Amino acid sequence: MKVLQNYSPKLISTFGNRTYWINGKQVTDYHIGIDIVADIDGVSGFDHILAVSNGKVELVVNDIPGYVDGGSYGNQIVINHKNGYKTRYAHLKQNSVPLNVGDGVNEGQVIGYMGMTGNITAGHLHFEIIKDNIEIDPYDYIFNNKKFESENTNPPVEEPNNNDQVEEKVSSIGSSNKFWINLFKKVKELFNRIFSKK
Ligand SMILES: [Zn+2]
């Protein structure tokens, strides 16, 4: 998946537990995304941000001029990709998002510019992938070209991972058939006895 327009992405902070220093204090937290800068000939730089997949704009914040304390995303855009996936692009440059909530977005479309807004000490893109409302590690999607799972159009009962349930259903049908066959046999035996007496 391509998230930067002109340069390759360079990872500066990974997903999950991390420890870092800020203002002389050691901080440990759980990072729910990855931080990326543009790699401009080995030097960290800025670039336009691209939508990684088709979707619809769910949230836009565009008016934050700079640093904000308290874990702020700064300017950001959230795109709903409709198959359980959402993506968030944060710390964007003020007024760089050219879209509004409800707008359709195509894969590869420019959706903003990397900035230094929100709770941030150096300019980068904070990128999240949210699958069924849980943030997942975006690394393989950005650096190993992993794709979103395609939208499931089958009802859940037909999914392969529900095999146990299906088997259970089949076996219960089987046993109820046996019940009726046995009952029928018994009734037949009874009739035979009655007729043989006559
Ligand atoms: Zn981050």
163/79 same-domain check: no
The amino acid present at 136, given as its one-letter code, is: I
162/134 same-domain check: no
Residues near ion ligand 1 (CB < 5 Å) are: 33, 35, 126
86/126 same-domain check: yes
118/171 same-domain check: no
Domains: count for the chain? 2
**Does 115 reside within a domain?**
yes
Q: How far is CA 22 from the centre of its chain?
A: 30
Q: How far does the centroid of ligand 1 lie from the alpha carbon of residue 14, in Å?
A: 8
138/189 same-domain check: no
CATH number where 20 lies: 2.70.70.10
120/31 same-domain check: yes
Torsion of CA 18, 117, 114, 121, to 10 degrees: -40
Residue 74 domain boundaries: 8-143
pLDDT tens, 155-178?
Answer: 555 555 555 555 555 555 566 777
0.85 exceeded by the pTM?
no
**Does 53 reside within a domain?**
yes
The amino acid present at 91, given as its one-letter code, is: H
pLDDT tens, 97-111?
Answer: 999 999 999 999 999
Q: How far does the centroid of ligand 1 lie from the alpha carbon of residue 38, in Å?
A: 15
pLDDT tens, 109-138?
Answer: 999 999 999 999 899 999 999 999 999 999
